[in-house]
Structure 1
């Protein structure tokens, strides 16, 4: 997360974040909240990437990042919010965060804001798994690993733009030791395998499907797909 100490309207803040980082900040759990809090010393009001569209009677909230579902169970509204009580009958369709609490506000207000950078890059070239791994380690940091549902969601947004039907992940099976491992040394805690993916085989690595539920499948290492690198 990056705290930007310039005052801008919500739309201009979104444009700034999309040009320089990934998007306005998404806050989907308490860990995100904590990281946001740590990215600013001042407990000032700042825009986050949550908004609704003008003129809707039953208000639906959306994250600025396309395709990321807004989960009502993880909201942090301040008491009495959202209230849509703007001055001069302005609708309050954008969201400010202060002291880890959210309040709705008219989008043309000017405030500081939080950007998010997800450090991921989709490589639209088809390579074998080993070629993909070498490419990421040489030019960026590593082949991507996924350790929780939030990371799965961020990455599946990238995967939708791939030119191959699946995309390599940094998850590989070792015959010698008989288990799956992330090349980044992350622990394999979260998984999103498709049901019925048969037992483990040698020379296999994991891909995420571009369509459908973005589940994981195993493919022979020598097949070629696009892939996602993590940046340092």
Structure 2
């Protein structure tokens, strides 16, 4: 059983006040306690809320707490830019699906075709994509092909998020930028917040305090989540650092492995390492190919990356990258 983080909404605005309850309960009892004594289990709207919760959790020895995100039997379409303050009730529900779309089968991500109509597709397919930049209040076409999840990470790291489309006018603005199908920020999942918040913000990083080899850690993550975590940007790395600080080992496995025959480092998601943050002497020299090596992030100090034999047993970070 876990400790609980509880949510108390102190005004009618989008602001939250979080309080840390250091009692161990199952999820159902935690929800009941929060509703009886505060408002509900915590809901999370954006990265700033995550930062606030991590500050609260730093006061505890526990590495996991209950929040109000719960899986349901329904699967609904939501926007990656999950802050409810960005939408009105009307424009949150704007859709421009093509005929017979979505089919709501095994496809969980949406793209806009050249004619401005929307289609569902496998999130693992590679497409160009549209970011939204809150500073300029505009849309940005990125003509690199990425999976939906990697496109989301890119937009969050370099702009604000994958684009929402709140009206026919915004749909036309994006259509004028494109000459092929592009990812937009619409995805489908079966999770909802206990307090019925409309936030679709998700932040799936999980520290596993078991000491496993890199291969065992990869197998664990793939069986219980999606994969070992990838770190494509400084912004994602900061979140991983916050999680790694609570580890019980000096370093924490990531989804980074050495392709020895070509002396290349690759993420398990298949991407070549572009952004990197190696400690001195790690990651930059050739290795004896008789010893397989993988990448870990240090759990203390400046938290640089280190190259280690895959047989070393460490804590590790999983991600649930399926939207």
**Structure 2 length-normalised TM:** 0.42
Query: Retained in 2: the 8 A contact 1:13–1:24?
Result: no
**Structure-1 residue corresponding to 2:47:** 26
**Contact (CA 8 Å) 1:142, 1:230: kept in 2 or not?**
yes
Structure 1 residue 42, shift from structure 2 partner: 2.1
What residue is the counterpart of 1:159 in the other structure?
244
The offset of 1:213, in angstroms, is 1.0
Aligned counterparts, 1:41-56, within 5 A: 41-42=87-88
| Match of residue 71 from structure 2 | none
Residue aligned with 1:132, SS: helix
- 8 Å contact from structure 1 (residues 165, 210) kept in 2: yes
Please name the residue that 2:81 is paired with.
36
Q: Which residue of 2 aligns with 1:228?
A: 317
121-130 vs 178-187, greater mean Cα deviation = 178-187
| 1:135 match: secondary structure | helix
- Indicate whether 1:204 and 2:293 are aligned: yes
CA contact (8 A) 1:122 1:229 kept: yes
The structural deviation recorded for 1:195 is: 2.1
The correspondence of residues 80-119 of structure 1 with structure 2, limited to 5 A, is 116-119=201-204
Q: Does 1:10 align with 2:15?
A: yes
How far did residue 24 of structure 1 move? Answer: 4.4
- Structure 1, residues 8-60: CA drift from partner, whole Å, max 9, x if none? 672347889x9456x44126xxxxxx95379754299xxxxxxxxxxxxxxxx
1:135 counterpart = 2:224: no
In the TM superposition, 1:55-94 aligns within 5 A as none
Question: Residues of 2 paired with 1:228 and 1:220: CA distance?
Answer: 17
What is the TM-score of this pair, normalised by structure 1? 0.57
1:192 equivalent in structure 2: 277
Query: What is the number of residues matched between the two proteins?
Result: 157
| Structure 1 pair 42–190 and aligned structure 2 pair: CA distance change class (3 A) | same
User: Structure 1 pair 148/19, CA: closer, same or farther in 2 (3 Å)?
Assistant: farther
- RMSD of aligned alpha carbons: 3.6
In structure 2, do the counterparts of structure 1 residues 41 and 209 end up closer, same or farther at CA, with 3 Å as the change threshold? same
Measure, in 1, the Cα distance between the counterparts of 2:269 and 2:225.
13
**How far does residue 184 in structure 1 lie from its aligned partner after superposition?**
1.1
Q: Is the CA contact 2:81–2:200 (under 8 Å) kept in the aligned structure 1?
A: no
Structure 2 unpaired stretches of 5+: 1-10, 21-33, 35-39, 49-78, 91-133, 136-196
Q: Which has the higher contact order (CA 8 A, sep 6+)?
A: 1
Is the Cα–Cα contact under 8 Å of residues 171 and 206 in structure 1 kept in the other structure?
yes
